Structure 1
Amino acid sequence: MTLRAANQPLAVAFMLTATAFIAATMIMAKSLGTDTLGPPLHPLQISHGRFLFAFAVISTAAAILRPTINRPDLKLHVGRTLFGWGGVTLMFSAVAFIPLSDATAISFLNPVFGMLLAIPLLGEKVGPWRWFAACTALLGALILLRPGPESFQLAGLLALGAALLMGMELIFIKKLANREPGFQILLINNAIGLCIATLAVLPVWSPPTAAQWGALAALGMLMATAQACFVNAMARADASFITPFSYVTLIFASLYDLLVFDVWPDWVSILGALIILGGASLLAWRERRARNVN
């Protein structure tokens, strides 16, 4: 039995909000991984900052709200956190070397991995309309990727690895969302993640500049908010339904590229974005119609 009643429209709203914040963390990571704010920081240090400040936000909220921790499944939490930390670190590595839109496009194969893994691991049924809508969105991602030799450089493979790890993380999130309160999931995930990230960063840590400290803090706070929205979305709809909506992150990434780095999308980017939105819209329309019929 789920902790929350199924509510697909609210799940979509939570997911779209999460995508806006996730894209913003990518911009922060790119600034930190290049010389924009000072000497480039190692990806392990960027992911450490992400967990450090996200945990600071969530633990402060916990001190105020004083939630009851109800028998957490530590095996699921550790598994989710390991895959999530690995995926985030690989993504932060990729965005420093290839365009943000390309890295985001490659990494957002993770909903496809998540949907495929949800079939054997969660026992979810994926009907023809879900397959069609997800494949449509994937086609848009492939158009944005502009397949070619350069797409398979090391940085591209890092982003692909991030997609696979984050796809597996989706399965753990879904299992946890069906068993534990969202706030408990966030608190434990970020606590474990901070421990893992702290151990990993020790050999490569270097003093950040003042601007980099600010960006690290912003990255952590944005990620904490995105996580809260994401967990709430996953708790209110099937993973195979809600994950394709995360493709909208590509739209926000292109918008932020324009606003922050003055990178204008070309016709290929626009075409890919429209196809992605078309796939997500088709999925939402079909699910709403099926719900009304039933």
Structure 2
Amino acid sequence: MSHKEAPLTAVLLMVTATLFIAGTTLAAKALGTDTLGPKLHPLQVTQGRFIFAFLGLLVVAAVMRPKISNPNLKLHGARTFCGAIGVTLMFSAVAFIPLADATAISFLNPVFGMIFAIPFLGEKVGPWRWLAAGLAFLGAVILLRPGPETFQIAALLALGAAVMLGLELIFIKKLANREPPMQILLINNLIGCILISIAAVAVWAQPTLAQWGALAALGLMMAAAQTCFVNAMARADASFVTPFSYLTLIFAALYDWAIFSAVPDRVSILGAVIIVSGAALLAWRETVNRNRLRRVPHSGGGRI
């Protein structure tokens, strides 16, 4: 069912989604350190994310009663595999580096998605898009702090997460043209539950009561974030609402400061600003490209 244009509602939904997304990284950091008890393996944290997110989505599905029809299980499996690895790497990274740094590096995922779209979707990439990618990568290099005494090896985990999440975007694009959003979310989280539960058997440890609560909060916040994001995109143009997703970086920094007393330094701020600038430039060029295609629907499409 299509929604009417509601820009203010879309903004509120997107801001709410960013609050939840930043909250998931905070919960992951607490679970990956000894804050709530003996630290849990990232695979177990990811398992909790999928299980409780799936349970939350089941409640939503019980109300919405969506029809599940003709799912492409190969695409769903590939999407979930990439996403699960990406999330696990991200949860590993936030245990060692500031939330703001890990979150900023994760904003590279649309850039990697652009790069992967060249061989997998046959898209052409022109100078403006490459400039956006170059800016974002420059910001990532700054956050990696390339020096013998300052290099953050753990930041490579966040970089790996961005690569896998960028690849996941390719499968999401393929699925979005074939299946409704709720069906995609339900199947994604169900497959994720199964795959990660198998992988986490070897490292599973009994969580403390506080860790059970954090795992539940992590999964439910992720389900809420996904729901808010999907509904925000349905109520306004992506070009209008997507920039508000960058608030995730601010909320992550605030959470890290409030809970772990971590204050971003100048290098972190500089790197984050450059990455977000590159991502924003990429979003702007995507908007220009879409508007051009709308005006000339039968054109061959040049490089953008």
TM-score using structure 2 length: 0.80
- The answer to whether structure 1 residue 269 and structure 2 residue 268 are counterparts is yes
- Counterparts in 2 of 1:160 and 1:287: CA distance versus 1, 3 Å: closer
- Counterparts in 2 of 1:246 and 1:134: CA distance versus 1, 3 Å: farther
Aligned positions of 1:65-84 closer than 5 A: 65-84=64-83
Tell me the C-alpha RMSD between the 2 structures. Answer: 3.4
- The answer to whether structure 1 residue 177 and structure 2 residue 176 are counterparts is yes
Q: Give yes or no for contact 1:134–1:244 (8 Å, CA) kept in 2.
A: no
Which residue does 2:63 correspond to in 1?
64
Which residue does 2:298 correspond to in 1?
none
Which residue does 1:111 correspond to in 2?
110
**How many residue pairs are counted as aligned between the two chains?**
287
Q: Give yes or no for contact 1:23–1:252 (8 Å, CA) kept in 2.
A: yes
| Distance in 2 separating the partners of 1:86 and 1:98 | 18
Q: What amino acid does structure 2 have at the position aligned with 1:168? A: L
| Distance in 1 separating the partners of 2:2 and 2:133 | 25
Identity of aligned residues (%): 66
Which residue does 1:35 correspond to in 2?
34
Which residue does 1:151 correspond to in 2?
151
Report the 3-state secondary structure (helix = DSSP H, G, I; strand = E; otherwise coil) of the residue aligned with 2:129.
Answer: helix
Shift of 1:152: 5.5
Which residue does 1:140 correspond to in 2?
139
Q: What amino acid does structure 2 have at the position aligned with 1:221? A: L
Superimposed CA distance per residue, residues 88-138 of structure 1 (whole angstroms, 9 cap, x where no aligned partner): 112212222333333334444322211101122123343433333343343
Q: Give yes or no for contact 1:182–1:232 (8 Å, CA) kept in 2.
A: no
Q: What amino acid does structure 2 have at the position aligned with 1:151? A: F
Aligned positions of 1:40-51 closer than 5 A: 40-51=39-50
Aligned positions of 1:182-261 closer than 5 A: 182-230=181-229, 249-261=248-260
Q: Give yes or no for contact 1:51–1:194 (8 Å, CA) kept in 2.
A: yes
Superimposed CA distance per residue, residues 44-95 of structure 1 (whole angstroms, 9 cap, x where no aligned partner): 1111110111001001111221111121100000111111111111221222
Report the 3-state secondary structure (helix = DSSP H, G, I; strand = E; otherwise coil) of the residue aligned with 2:203.
Answer: coil
- Counterparts in 2 of 1:21 and 1:247: CA distance versus 1, 3 Å: same
Gaps in structure 2 of 5+ consecutive residues: 296-304
Q: What amino acid does structure 2 have at the position aligned with 1:195? A: I
Q: Give yes or no for contact 1:106–1:145 (8 Å, CA) kept in 2.
A: no
For structure 1, which segment, 103-112 or 244-253, has the greater mean C-alpha deviation from structure 2 after superposition? 244-253
Shift of 1:244: 8.6
Q: Give yes or no for contact 1:50–1:223 (8 Å, CA) kept in 2.
A: yes
Which residue does 2:100 correspond to in 1?
101
For structure 1, which segment, 61-70 or 249-258, has the greater mean C-alpha deviation from structure 2 after superposition? 249-258
| Distance in 1 separating the partners of 2:121 and 2:232 | 16
Q: Give yes or no for contact 2:98–2:256 (8 Å, CA) kept in 1.
A: no
